[in-house]
Homo-oligomer: A and B are copies of this chain.
Amino acid sequence: MQEQVTAHPEKETGRLEAFSDGVFAIAITLLVLELKVPDLAVASHSPAQLGRALLQQWPSYVGLVTSFFTILIMWVHHHAILRNVCRTDAWLHFANGCLLLGVTFVPYPTAILASYMETPAAKVAAAFYSGTFVFMAICFYLFIRAAFRKPLLSPSASQEFIGKTCHQYMFGPPAYLLATLGAILDVRLSLAICTILWIFWATTITRNMRA
Interface residues of A (CB under 8 A from B): 4, 8, 11, 15, 17-33, 35, 37-38, 40, 45-51, 54, 64-65, 68-69, 72, 75-76, 79, 83, 89-90, 93, 97, 100-101, 104-105, 107-108, 111-112, 115-116, 119-121, 123-125, 128, 156, 205-206, 209-210
Q: Which residue of B lies closest to A96 (CB)?
A: B72
CA distance A40 to B124 in the complex (A): 13
- Whether B54 lies near A128 (C-beta < 8 A) is yes
Q: Which residue of B lies closest to A118 (CB)?
A: B45
Known: A37-B112, A47-B123, A121-B47. A19 touches B25 (CB 8 A): yes
Q: Which residue of B lies closest to A209 (CB)?
A: B90
Q: How far is the CB of A56 from chain B (nearest CB, A)?
A: 13
Report whether over half of chain A's contact residues are helix, strand or loop; otherwise say mixed.
helix
- Whether B27 lies near A21 (C-beta < 8 A) is no
A-B CB contact pairs (8 Å), 14 listed? A18-B21, A21-B25, A26-B30, A29-B104, A35-B108, A37-B112, A38-B112, A45-B120, A47-B124, A50-B116, A51-B124, A68-B101, A72-B97, A90-B210
- Whether B104 lies near A32 (C-beta < 8 A) is yes
Q: How far is the CB of A158 from chain B (nearest CB, A)?
A: 12
- CB-CB under 8 A from A38, the residues of chain B are 112
CA distance A201 to B76 in the complex (A): 30
